[in-house]
Amino acid sequence: MFSSLSDSLDKTFRNLRGVGKISEKNITDALREIRVALLEADVEYLVAKEFIAHVKEKAVGAEVLKSIKPGEQIVKIFHDELAELLGGDQVPLQLDGSGRILLCGLNGAGKTTTAGKLAMRLKREGKKPLLIACDLYRPAAIDQLATVGKQVDVPVYTPDASETDVVKVAREALTWAETQNGDVLIFDTAGRQEIDERLVEELKRLHAFLDPQETLLVADAATGQGAVSVAKHFDEAVGITGIILTKLDGDARGGAALSMRSVTGKPIKYAGEGEKLDQLFEFHPDRMADRILGMGDVVGMVEQVAGRIDEKDAMKSMERMASGKFDFYDFLDQMKMISKLGDMKGLMGLIPGFNKIKKQIPDAAFDPKRMKRTEAIVLSMTPDERRRPEIIKPSRRKRIAAGSGVTIIEVNRLLKQFGDMRKMMKSPKKMQKMMGQMGGMPGMGGGGGFPGMGGGGGMPDLGDLDGLLKGLGKKK
Protein backbone atom coordinates (compact mmCIF):
# COMPACT_ATOMS: atom_id res chain seq x y z
CA MET A 1 0.00 0.00 0.00
CA PHE A 2 2.76 2.44 0.91
CA SER A 3 4.96 1.62 -2.08
CA SER A 4 4.85 5.09 -3.70
CA LEU A 5 5.43 6.83 -0.37
CA SER A 6 8.24 4.41 0.48
CA ASP A 7 9.91 5.05 -2.88
CA SER A 8 9.75 8.83 -2.41
CA LEU A 9 11.11 8.64 1.13
CA ASP A 10 13.88 6.27 0.08
CA LYS A 11 15.05 8.71 -2.59
CA THR A 12 15.00 11.66 -0.19
CA PHE A 13 16.84 9.84 2.59
CA ARG A 14 19.36 8.40 0.17
CA ASN A 15 20.35 11.95 -0.73
CA LEU A 16 20.32 13.02 2.91
CA ARG A 17 22.55 10.14 3.99
CA GLY A 18 25.19 11.35 1.57
CA VAL A 19 25.72 14.73 3.19
CA GLY A 20 28.64 15.07 5.56
CA LYS A 21 27.06 17.75 7.71
CA ILE A 22 23.47 18.43 8.63
CA SER A 23 22.36 22.04 8.32
CA GLU A 24 19.01 23.75 8.64
CA LYS A 25 19.00 24.25 4.86
CA ASN A 26 19.44 20.63 3.82
CA ILE A 27 16.96 19.54 6.51
CA THR A 28 14.45 22.08 5.18
CA ASP A 29 14.99 20.90 1.60
CA ALA A 30 14.55 17.26 2.57
CA LEU A 31 11.43 17.92 4.63
CA ARG A 32 9.90 19.87 1.76
CA GLU A 33 10.22 16.77 -0.41
CA ILE A 34 8.83 14.58 2.38
CA ARG A 35 5.87 16.90 2.85
CA VAL A 36 5.02 16.61 -0.85
CA ALA A 37 5.35 12.82 -0.62
CA LEU A 38 2.96 12.71 2.36
CA LEU A 39 0.37 14.86 0.60
CA GLU A 40 0.63 12.73 -2.54
CA ALA A 41 0.04 9.69 -0.32
CA ASP A 42 -3.29 11.29 0.69
CA VAL A 43 -2.22 12.26 4.21
CA GLU A 44 -4.53 14.97 5.60
CA TYR A 45 -3.00 18.43 5.05
CA LEU A 46 -2.91 19.63 8.66
CA VAL A 47 -1.55 16.27 9.81
CA ALA A 48 1.29 16.46 7.28
CA LYS A 49 2.05 20.07 8.20
CA GLU A 50 2.19 19.36 11.94
CA PHE A 51 4.25 16.21 11.43
CA ILE A 52 6.88 18.01 9.34
CA ALA A 53 7.08 20.77 11.97
CA HIS A 54 7.77 18.20 14.71
CA VAL A 55 10.48 16.46 12.69
CA LYS A 56 12.17 19.74 11.80
CA GLU A 57 12.14 20.92 15.41
CA LYS A 58 13.83 17.74 16.63
CA ALA A 59 16.22 17.48 13.68
CA VAL A 60 17.51 21.05 13.88
CA GLY A 61 17.95 20.88 17.64
CA ALA A 62 19.49 17.41 17.67
CA GLU A 63 23.05 16.96 18.85
CA VAL A 64 24.82 14.95 16.15
CA LEU A 65 26.43 11.85 17.62
CA LYS A 66 29.96 11.13 16.44
CA SER A 67 29.23 7.42 16.06
CA ILE A 68 26.30 8.01 13.68
CA LYS A 69 26.27 9.65 10.29
CA PRO A 70 24.22 12.87 10.34
CA GLY A 71 21.83 11.63 7.66
CA GLU A 72 21.17 8.39 9.53
CA GLN A 73 20.32 10.36 12.65
CA ILE A 74 17.65 12.32 10.77
CA VAL A 75 16.19 9.07 9.45
CA LYS A 76 15.98 7.82 13.05
CA ILE A 77 14.19 11.00 14.14
CA PHE A 78 11.78 10.66 11.21
CA HIS A 79 11.13 6.99 12.03
CA ASP A 80 10.35 7.74 15.68
CA GLU A 81 8.01 10.61 14.77
CA LEU A 82 6.29 8.43 12.16
CA ALA A 83 5.73 5.69 14.74
CA GLU A 84 4.33 8.31 17.12
CA LEU A 85 2.03 9.66 14.40
CA LEU A 86 0.71 6.13 13.86
CA GLY A 87 -0.03 5.79 17.56
CA GLY A 88 3.15 5.03 19.49
CA ASP A 89 2.67 1.73 21.30
CA GLN A 90 0.36 -1.05 20.17
CA VAL A 91 -3.01 -0.84 21.96
CA PRO A 92 -4.80 -4.16 22.66
CA LEU A 93 -8.54 -4.64 23.09
CA GLN A 94 -9.84 -3.60 26.49
CA LEU A 95 -12.20 -6.40 27.46
CA ASP A 96 -13.21 -7.46 30.94
CA GLY A 97 -15.75 -10.09 31.90
CA SER A 98 -18.31 -10.65 29.15
CA GLY A 99 -16.91 -8.20 26.60
CA ARG A 100 -19.07 -6.53 24.00
CA ILE A 101 -17.58 -5.23 20.75
CA LEU A 102 -19.63 -3.01 18.45
CA LEU A 103 -18.38 -2.76 14.85
CA CYS A 104 -19.44 0.24 12.79
CA GLY A 105 -18.53 1.77 9.44
CA LEU A 106 -19.71 2.46 5.93
CA ASN A 107 -20.88 -0.10 3.39
CA GLY A 108 -18.00 -1.68 1.53
CA ALA A 109 -15.49 -1.26 4.34
CA GLY A 110 -15.61 -4.98 5.09
CA LYS A 111 -17.40 -5.05 8.48
CA THR A 112 -18.92 -8.50 8.15
CA THR A 113 -15.70 -10.13 6.97
CA THR A 114 -13.79 -8.26 9.67
CA ALA A 115 -16.25 -9.54 12.29
CA GLY A 116 -15.34 -13.08 11.23
CA LYS A 117 -11.63 -12.31 11.20
CA LEU A 118 -11.83 -10.79 14.68
CA ALA A 119 -13.80 -13.78 15.98
CA MET A 120 -11.19 -16.17 14.55
CA ARG A 121 -8.33 -14.21 16.10
CA LEU A 122 -9.99 -14.02 19.53
CA LYS A 123 -10.77 -17.73 19.35
CA ARG A 124 -7.08 -18.50 18.75
CA GLU A 125 -6.26 -16.35 21.79
CA GLY A 126 -8.41 -18.56 23.98
CA LYS A 127 -11.61 -16.52 23.95
CA LYS A 128 -15.10 -17.82 23.17
CA PRO A 129 -16.51 -15.26 20.74
CA LEU A 130 -20.08 -15.02 19.51
CA LEU A 131 -21.22 -13.20 16.37
CA ILE A 132 -24.45 -11.20 16.32
CA ALA A 133 -26.07 -9.91 13.12
CA CYS A 134 -27.41 -6.38 13.55
CA ASP A 135 -27.35 -5.32 9.91
CA LEU A 136 -31.06 -5.37 9.16
CA TYR A 137 -30.94 -3.43 5.89
CA ARG A 138 -28.33 -4.81 3.51
CA PRO A 139 -29.64 -7.75 1.47
CA ALA A 140 -28.18 -11.08 2.54
CA ALA A 141 -26.09 -9.46 5.30
CA ILE A 142 -27.43 -11.87 7.91
CA ASP A 143 -26.77 -14.89 5.69
CA GLN A 144 -23.26 -13.61 4.98
CA LEU A 145 -22.43 -13.38 8.69
CA ALA A 146 -23.87 -16.86 9.24
CA THR A 147 -21.61 -18.20 6.48
CA VAL A 148 -18.55 -16.46 7.95
CA GLY A 149 -19.42 -17.80 11.39
CA LYS A 150 -19.57 -21.34 10.03
CA GLN A 151 -16.16 -20.90 8.38
CA VAL A 152 -14.52 -19.86 11.67
CA ASP A 153 -16.68 -22.28 13.74
CA VAL A 154 -18.23 -19.57 15.91
CA PRO A 155 -21.95 -19.43 16.91
CA VAL A 156 -23.96 -16.70 15.17
CA TYR A 157 -27.21 -15.06 16.27
CA THR A 158 -29.39 -14.48 13.20
CA PRO A 159 -32.63 -12.49 13.70
CA ASP A 160 -35.76 -12.91 11.62
CA ALA A 161 -35.38 -11.31 8.18
CA SER A 162 -38.52 -9.21 8.77
CA GLU A 163 -37.20 -7.59 11.96
CA THR A 164 -36.47 -3.83 11.76
CA ASP A 165 -35.82 -2.82 15.39
CA VAL A 166 -32.08 -3.19 15.99
CA VAL A 167 -32.33 -2.67 19.77
CA LYS A 168 -34.92 -5.47 20.01
CA VAL A 169 -32.54 -7.70 18.05
CA ALA A 170 -29.69 -6.83 20.42
CA ARG A 171 -31.85 -7.56 23.48
CA GLU A 172 -32.87 -10.96 22.14
CA ALA A 173 -29.26 -11.68 21.18
CA LEU A 174 -28.10 -11.04 24.76
CA THR A 175 -30.66 -13.56 26.00
CA TRP A 176 -29.45 -16.06 23.38
CA ALA A 177 -25.82 -15.43 24.34
CA GLU A 178 -26.50 -16.55 27.92
CA THR A 179 -27.12 -20.06 26.57
CA GLN A 180 -23.94 -20.17 24.45
CA ASN A 181 -21.17 -19.95 27.08
CA GLY A 182 -19.44 -17.16 25.15
CA ASP A 183 -17.26 -14.45 26.70
CA VAL A 184 -16.96 -11.93 23.82
CA LEU A 185 -19.94 -10.70 21.80
CA ILE A 186 -19.20 -9.11 18.42
CA PHE A 187 -22.06 -7.02 16.97
CA ASP A 188 -22.01 -6.50 13.19
CA THR A 189 -24.02 -3.35 12.43
CA ALA A 190 -25.51 -1.83 9.30
CA GLY A 191 -23.59 0.57 7.08
CA ARG A 192 -24.55 3.09 4.42
CA GLN A 193 -22.98 4.44 1.28
CA GLU A 194 -22.79 7.77 3.08
CA ILE A 195 -23.20 8.76 6.70
CA ASP A 196 -26.80 9.87 7.30
CA GLU A 197 -28.86 10.80 10.30
CA ARG A 198 -30.84 7.56 10.22
CA LEU A 199 -27.63 5.52 10.52
CA VAL A 200 -26.27 7.78 13.25
CA GLU A 201 -29.44 7.68 15.33
CA GLU A 202 -29.70 3.90 15.05
CA LEU A 203 -26.08 3.51 16.14
CA LYS A 204 -26.61 5.87 19.06
CA ARG A 205 -29.61 3.85 20.31
CA LEU A 206 -27.77 0.54 19.89
CA HIS A 207 -24.64 1.89 21.54
CA ALA A 208 -26.60 3.31 24.50
CA PHE A 209 -28.36 -0.03 25.02
CA LEU A 210 -25.27 -2.25 24.74
CA ASP A 211 -22.73 0.03 26.45
CA PRO A 212 -19.90 -1.90 24.70
CA GLN A 213 -16.35 -2.08 26.04
CA GLU A 214 -15.05 -1.54 22.51
CA THR A 215 -16.62 0.43 19.67
CA LEU A 216 -14.43 -0.19 16.66
CA LEU A 217 -14.65 1.70 13.39
CA VAL A 218 -13.98 -0.56 10.41
CA ALA A 219 -12.46 1.72 7.77
CA ASP A 220 -11.29 1.00 4.24
CA ALA A 221 -7.67 2.16 4.04
CA ALA A 222 -8.16 2.86 0.32
CA THR A 223 -10.61 5.72 0.94
CA GLY A 224 -7.79 8.19 1.67
CA GLN A 225 -8.70 11.48 3.33
CA GLY A 226 -12.38 10.59 3.09
CA ALA A 227 -11.79 7.94 5.76
CA VAL A 228 -10.63 10.66 8.15
CA SER A 229 -13.90 12.59 7.97
CA VAL A 230 -15.81 9.30 8.40
CA ALA A 231 -13.77 8.52 11.52
CA LYS A 232 -14.46 11.97 13.00
CA HIS A 233 -18.19 11.65 12.32
CA PHE A 234 -18.52 8.21 13.92
CA ASP A 235 -16.39 9.28 16.89
CA GLU A 236 -18.58 12.31 17.54
CA ALA A 237 -21.70 10.16 17.25
CA VAL A 238 -20.86 7.11 19.40
CA GLY A 239 -17.34 7.63 20.74
CA ILE A 240 -15.20 5.02 18.98
CA THR A 241 -12.48 3.36 21.06
CA GLY A 242 -10.35 2.16 18.17
CA ILE A 243 -10.01 1.58 14.46
CA ILE A 244 -9.62 -1.50 12.27
CA LEU A 245 -8.10 -0.68 8.89
CA THR A 246 -9.09 -3.03 6.08
CA LYS A 247 -7.53 -3.64 2.65
CA LEU A 248 -4.11 -2.52 3.82
CA ASP A 249 -2.65 -4.86 1.21
CA GLY A 250 -4.19 -2.90 -1.67
CA ASP A 251 -2.71 -0.39 -4.08
CA ALA A 252 -4.11 2.73 -2.40
CA ARG A 253 -1.75 5.42 -1.16
CA GLY A 254 -2.25 4.74 2.55
CA GLY A 255 -2.88 8.28 3.77
CA ALA A 256 -5.76 7.14 5.98
CA ALA A 257 -3.45 5.05 8.15
CA LEU A 258 -1.18 8.05 8.69
CA SER A 259 -4.01 10.49 9.39
CA MET A 260 -6.71 8.71 11.40
CA ARG A 261 -4.78 8.29 14.64
CA SER A 262 -3.78 11.94 14.70
CA VAL A 263 -7.20 13.32 13.78
CA THR A 264 -9.34 11.13 16.05
CA GLY A 265 -6.90 10.48 18.88
CA LYS A 266 -8.06 6.85 18.77
CA PRO A 267 -5.63 3.96 18.16
CA ILE A 268 -5.56 1.70 15.14
CA LYS A 269 -5.87 -1.69 16.83
CA TYR A 270 -5.93 -4.10 13.90
CA ALA A 271 -5.19 -4.17 10.19
CA GLY A 272 -6.69 -6.50 7.62
CA GLU A 273 -4.31 -7.57 4.86
CA GLY A 274 -5.93 -10.05 2.50
CA GLU A 275 -9.19 -11.89 1.93
CA LYS A 276 -8.54 -14.92 4.12
CA LEU A 277 -10.18 -14.99 7.54
CA ASP A 278 -6.87 -15.45 9.35
CA GLN A 279 -5.45 -12.25 7.85
CA LEU A 280 -6.20 -9.80 10.66
CA PHE A 281 -3.11 -8.58 12.50
CA GLU A 282 -2.35 -6.39 15.47
CA PHE A 283 -1.35 -2.91 14.33
CA HIS A 284 2.13 -2.08 15.62
CA PRO A 285 3.01 1.57 14.83
CA ASP A 286 6.77 1.02 15.08
CA ARG A 287 6.65 -1.95 12.71
CA MET A 288 4.48 -0.02 10.24
CA ALA A 289 7.00 2.83 10.36
CA ASP A 290 9.71 0.27 9.51
CA ARG A 291 7.70 -0.96 6.54
CA ILE A 292 7.04 2.55 5.23
CA LEU A 293 10.76 3.30 5.41
CA GLY A 294 11.62 0.08 3.58
CA MET A 295 13.08 -1.60 6.68
CA GLY A 296 10.67 -4.54 6.51
CA ASP A 297 8.97 -6.30 9.39
CA VAL A 298 10.74 -9.56 10.13
CA VAL A 299 8.87 -10.08 13.41
CA GLY A 300 5.55 -9.68 11.62
CA MET A 301 6.64 -12.08 8.89
CA VAL A 302 7.68 -14.77 11.37
CA GLU A 303 4.44 -14.35 13.33
CA GLN A 304 2.40 -14.78 10.16
CA VAL A 305 4.34 -17.87 9.16
CA ALA A 306 4.13 -19.31 12.69
CA GLY A 307 0.37 -18.82 12.72
CA ARG A 308 -0.21 -20.70 9.47
CA ILE A 309 2.48 -23.39 9.31
CA ASP A 310 2.47 -26.47 11.52
CA GLU A 311 5.92 -26.60 13.12
CA LYS A 312 6.02 -30.43 13.21
CA ASP A 313 5.15 -30.65 9.51
CA ALA A 314 7.78 -28.03 8.67
CA MET A 315 10.43 -29.89 10.69
CA LYS A 316 9.50 -33.22 9.09
CA SER A 317 9.84 -31.67 5.64
CA MET A 318 13.23 -30.19 6.55
CA GLU A 319 14.47 -33.55 7.78
CA ARG A 320 13.38 -35.21 4.52
CA MET A 321 15.20 -32.57 2.53
CA ALA A 322 18.34 -32.86 4.63
CA SER A 323 18.36 -36.65 4.22
CA GLY A 324 18.06 -36.40 0.42
CA LYS A 325 14.85 -38.50 0.43
CA PHE A 326 12.73 -35.63 -0.84
CA ASP A 327 10.28 -36.73 -3.57
CA PHE A 328 7.25 -35.25 -5.33
CA TYR A 329 4.97 -36.31 -2.47
CA ASP A 330 7.04 -34.13 -0.16
CA PHE A 331 6.92 -31.42 -2.79
CA LEU A 332 3.10 -31.47 -2.75
CA ASP A 333 3.18 -31.13 1.05
CA GLN A 334 5.49 -28.12 0.67
CA MET A 335 3.10 -26.51 -1.78
CA LYS A 336 0.18 -26.99 0.61
CA MET A 337 2.15 -25.28 3.36
CA ILE A 338 3.06 -22.40 1.07
CA SER A 339 -0.56 -21.95 -0.05
CA LYS A 340 -1.51 -21.38 3.60
CA LEU A 341 0.72 -18.31 3.68
CA GLY A 342 -1.64 -16.39 1.38
CA ASP A 343 -0.36 -13.41 -0.59
CA MET A 344 3.32 -14.20 -1.16
CA LYS A 345 4.15 -10.76 -2.51
CA GLY A 346 2.76 -9.17 0.64
CA LEU A 347 4.66 -11.61 2.85
CA MET A 348 7.92 -11.08 0.97
CA GLY A 349 7.36 -7.34 1.32
CA LEU A 350 8.03 -7.76 5.05
CA ILE A 351 11.63 -8.74 4.31
CA PRO A 352 14.01 -5.78 4.79
CA GLY A 353 15.11 -4.36 1.46
CA PHE A 354 12.60 -6.35 -0.60
CA ASN A 355 10.83 -3.21 -1.81
CA LYS A 356 14.06 -2.10 -3.50
CA ILE A 357 14.24 -5.22 -5.67
CA LYS A 358 10.56 -6.09 -6.14
CA LYS A 359 10.39 -4.23 -9.46
CA GLN A 360 13.00 -6.60 -10.83
CA ILE A 361 10.75 -9.59 -10.08
CA PRO A 362 7.94 -10.16 -12.59
CA ASP A 363 4.41 -10.24 -11.21
CA ALA A 364 4.05 -13.69 -12.74
CA ALA A 365 6.45 -14.98 -10.09
CA PHE A 366 3.76 -14.32 -7.47
CA ASP A 367 0.86 -15.54 -9.56
CA PRO A 368 -0.99 -18.31 -7.66
CA LYS A 369 -2.08 -19.71 -11.04
CA ARG A 370 1.53 -20.68 -11.69
CA MET A 371 1.58 -22.72 -8.50
CA LYS A 372 -1.64 -24.40 -9.63
CA ARG A 373 -0.03 -25.33 -12.95
CA THR A 374 2.95 -26.80 -11.13
CA GLU A 375 0.63 -28.72 -8.83
CA ALA A 376 -1.33 -30.02 -11.82
CA ILE A 377 1.87 -31.45 -13.31
CA VAL A 378 2.68 -33.35 -10.12
CA LEU A 379 -0.89 -34.61 -9.72
CA SER A 380 -0.75 -35.97 -13.27
CA MET A 381 2.12 -38.27 -12.30
CA THR A 382 1.55 -41.85 -11.16
CA PRO A 383 2.41 -42.72 -7.53
CA ASP A 384 5.55 -44.50 -8.72
CA GLU A 385 6.60 -41.47 -10.79
CA ARG A 386 6.24 -39.17 -7.79
CA ARG A 387 8.42 -41.46 -5.68
CA ARG A 388 11.00 -42.04 -8.46
CA PRO A 389 11.09 -39.01 -10.83
CA GLU A 390 14.09 -40.54 -12.63
CA ILE A 391 11.79 -43.03 -14.39
CA ILE A 392 9.89 -40.24 -16.17
CA LYS A 393 11.11 -40.71 -19.74
CA PRO A 394 9.90 -38.78 -22.86
CA SER A 395 6.74 -40.86 -23.36
CA ARG A 396 5.74 -40.37 -19.73
CA ARG A 397 6.47 -36.64 -19.96
CA LYS A 398 4.16 -36.36 -22.95
CA ARG A 399 1.37 -38.11 -21.02
CA ILE A 400 1.91 -35.88 -17.94
CA ALA A 401 1.82 -32.72 -20.08
CA ALA A 402 -1.44 -33.81 -21.72
CA GLY A 403 -2.97 -34.76 -18.39
CA SER A 404 -2.09 -31.46 -16.69
CA GLY A 405 -2.89 -29.23 -19.66
CA VAL A 406 0.61 -27.76 -19.93
CA THR A 407 3.42 -27.99 -22.45
CA ILE A 408 6.17 -30.58 -22.41
CA ILE A 409 8.60 -27.68 -21.93
CA GLU A 410 6.99 -26.88 -18.57
CA VAL A 411 7.17 -30.52 -17.51
CA ASN A 412 10.82 -30.71 -18.51
CA ARG A 413 11.60 -27.49 -16.64
CA LEU A 414 9.99 -28.75 -13.44
CA LEU A 415 11.81 -32.09 -13.60
CA LYS A 416 15.15 -30.39 -14.25
CA GLN A 417 14.69 -28.00 -11.33
CA PHE A 418 13.61 -30.85 -9.09
CA GLY A 419 16.63 -32.89 -10.13
CA ASP A 420 19.00 -29.96 -9.51
CA MET A 421 17.51 -29.50 -6.06
CA ARG A 422 17.97 -33.18 -5.16
CA LYS A 423 21.62 -32.96 -6.22
CA MET A 424 22.04 -29.91 -4.04
CA MET A 425 20.55 -31.76 -1.07
CA LYS A 426 23.32 -34.35 -1.31
CA SER A 427 25.83 -31.55 -0.60
CA PRO A 428 25.46 -30.33 3.02
CA LYS A 429 27.30 -27.07 2.27
CA LYS A 430 25.12 -26.24 -0.73
CA MET A 431 21.99 -27.22 1.19
CA GLN A 432 22.90 -25.00 4.11
CA LYS A 433 23.59 -22.09 1.77
CA MET A 434 20.26 -22.56 -0.03
CA MET A 435 18.21 -22.69 3.16
CA GLY A 436 19.96 -19.62 4.52
CA GLN A 437 19.01 -17.45 1.58
CA MET A 438 15.89 -15.39 1.00
CA GLY A 439 14.26 -16.00 -2.33
CA GLY A 440 11.66 -17.96 -4.25
CA MET A 441 9.00 -20.32 -2.98
CA PRO A 442 7.52 -23.51 -4.45
CA GLY A 443 5.33 -23.03 -7.47
CA MET A 444 6.43 -19.47 -8.23
CA GLY A 445 7.92 -19.95 -11.67
CA GLY A 446 11.33 -19.12 -13.13
CA GLY A 447 14.72 -20.72 -12.67
CA GLY A 448 16.80 -21.80 -9.70
CA GLY A 449 15.77 -22.62 -6.16
CA PHE A 450 12.89 -24.96 -5.43
CA PRO A 451 11.07 -26.46 -8.46
CA GLY A 452 8.63 -24.03 -9.99
CA MET A 453 10.18 -21.02 -8.26
CA GLY A 454 11.17 -17.61 -9.56
CA GLY A 455 14.78 -16.84 -8.70
CA GLY A 456 17.25 -18.81 -6.66
CA GLY A 457 17.28 -19.60 -3.00
CA GLY A 458 14.71 -20.62 -0.46
CA MET A 459 12.90 -19.19 2.52
CA PRO A 460 14.41 -19.03 6.01
CA ASP A 461 14.36 -22.31 7.91
CA LEU A 462 10.78 -22.64 9.16
CA GLY A 463 11.52 -25.73 11.16
CA ASP A 464 12.42 -23.80 14.31
CA LEU A 465 9.69 -21.17 14.54
CA ASP A 466 10.07 -20.88 18.30
CA GLY A 467 13.77 -20.22 17.88
CA LEU A 468 13.12 -17.58 15.24
CA LEU A 469 10.58 -15.81 17.43
CA LYS A 470 12.81 -15.91 20.48
CA GLY A 471 15.70 -14.64 18.44
CA LEU A 472 13.60 -11.64 17.49
CA GLY A 473 12.64 -10.97 21.08
CA LYS A 474 9.12 -12.31 20.68
CA LYS A 475 7.15 -15.29 21.99
CA LYS A 476 5.08 -17.47 19.77
Binding-site residues for GTP, in ranges, read 105-112, 188-192, 246-249
d(CA 185, CA 174) in angstroms, rounded, equals 9
Q: Cα 47–48–51 angle (5° rounding)?
A: 85
Cα(462)–Cα(356) distance, rounded to whole angstroms? 24
**Beta bridge pairs of residue 244:** 218, 270
The amino acid occupying position 15 is: N
Strand 129-134 with 268-272, pairing: unpaired
If you write DSSP's letter for every residue of 64-96 in order, what string do you get?
PPTTS-HHHHHHHHHHHHHHHHTTSS-------
| Helices 70-85/285-292 angle, 10° precision | 130
Instruction: Report the alpha-carbon distance of residue 66 to residue 78 in Å, rounded.
Output: 19
Query: Cα(390)–Cα(401) distance, rounded to whole angstroms?
Result: 16
Instruction: List % helix, strand, coil for the chain (3-state, nearest 5).
Output: 55, 10, 35
Q: How do beta strands 184-189 and 129-134 pair? A: parallel
- Residue among 367, 458, 379 at smallest CA distance from 414: 379
Q: What angle do CA 77, 81, 86 make, to 5 degrees?
A: 150
How far CA 120 is from CA of 111, 180, 190, 277, 278, in Å, comes to: 14, 17, 21, 7, 7
Nearest to 156 by CA among 134, 126, 125, 136: 134
Contact 439, 456 (CB under 8 A): yes
What is the amino acid identity at position 192? R
Contact at 8 Å (CB) between 233 and 212?
Answer: no
Tell me the backbone φ, ψ of residue 18, rounded to 5 degrees. -80, -15
Q: Is 242 helix (H, G, I), strand (E, B) or coil?
A: strand
Please name the amino acid found at residue 108: G
Residue type, 398: K
The backbone torsions φ and ψ at residue 443, rounded to the nearest 5 degrees and listed phi first, read: 80, 15
